[in-house]
Amino acid sequence: MTITQIKLSDALYEFSLAQDVPSAALLDSFIQRYPAYAKELTDLAVELVIDSISEETPSPKDDLQSQKDSAVNLTVSRAMSHYQNRLYELQQGKEIKADARFSNGNIPADPFKNMDTAAFRSFSRAINANTAFCMRVRDRQINANTIPERFFMRAAQELRTSQDNFVAYMHLPTAVVRAGQSFKAECKPFAAVKQTYEEAVNASNLSEEQKNDLLSLIEKAPENGQFQPR
């Protein structure tokens, strides 16, 4: 099985289910098996081992119990509503799918909407990039077909949006001017030709460590040498 065929999600689930609390030996064996996912596996192991400190213990009924119960009911009620809405969408065939994303008129939500400067900087730090690179992402200056799945996954997680939505968003045409932004030019702004992911990484003045990290997310090409676009 080539690395492109192994889904990161499956590798992470397999790791999570292997032991109640991971160990160095387990992590090393998984990294040996899936070297392309070394960072993601290590990040997960770090979180799992810290999480294990505070394992759930049965808490006695307390004054807060009724408050907790109502919070649970509210969450469930909202989740069921979400379920029904999504089920309706799926049944109507409205789900956004890979390359036929916009043929049915669905426009993906803008995950950068309402993001202020501080939040944008925080996002760029979280994905181990700088604001220059993130602006290329935000303005969709990068060809979505060249963006590795693991970058989509990382960024979508930090943007608190679904991966499908983020993929769909990145397939939209390049943004020329975003709401709330001003520009000064003698001619009307135009959309630049989209760069490849690799070009964007190399052209964004990132540190060597950041470059290496972001480039390491690129799936290794299978033996026929062809990149698998999403």
Partner 1 sequence: MVAPLAKKYINNGELYLRRAEVESEIDGLLKVSVTIWEQRAEIVDSTLPDYLSSECLVHLFRASAQQKQEQTKNKLLICLLGRCSRILQNKVSDTIRGAEDLRQDIVNDFVELCLTEYLPGGALDYYESNFNLAFKRLRIDRVRPTLVNVGRETVLSELSDFAETMSSDDIYDQLLKIENRDSEQEISLMKKRVWIAINELPPDERTVVALQMLGYRIESKDPKTPTIASKCNVDPRTIHNRLKRAHAKLAEALKEERS
- Asked if 178 is part of the footprint of partner 1 (rule: CB under 8 A), the reply reads no
> Is the Cβ–Cβ distance between 126 and 158 less than 8 Å?
yes
Q: Which is nearer to partner 1, 10 or 99 (CB)?
A: 10
Of 2, 35, 68, 192, the one binding partner 1 by CB under 8 A: 68
- Asked if 66 is part of the footprint of partner 1 (rule: CB under 8 A), the reply reads no
In one letter, which amino acid is 89? E
* Minimum distance, C-beta of residue 143 to partner 1, in the bound complex (Å): 26
- Asked if 115 is part of the footprint of partner 1 (rule: CB under 8 A), the reply reads no
Percent helix, strand, coil in the chain, to 5, is 55, 0, 45
* Interface segment toward partner 1; rule CB under 8 A; list 30-38, 171-179, 194-202, 219-227: 30-38
In one letter, which amino acid is 223? E
CA 189 centroid distance within chain: 30
Residues 74-103 that bind partner 1 (CB under 8 A): 75-76, 78-80, 82-83, 86-87, 90
Chain residues that interact with partner 1, rule: CB under 8 A: 1, 6, 9-14, 16-17, 20, 22-25, 27-28, 31, 33-34, 42-51, 53-57, 59, 68, 71-73, 75-76, 78-80, 82-83, 86-87, 90, 126, 157-158, 160, 162
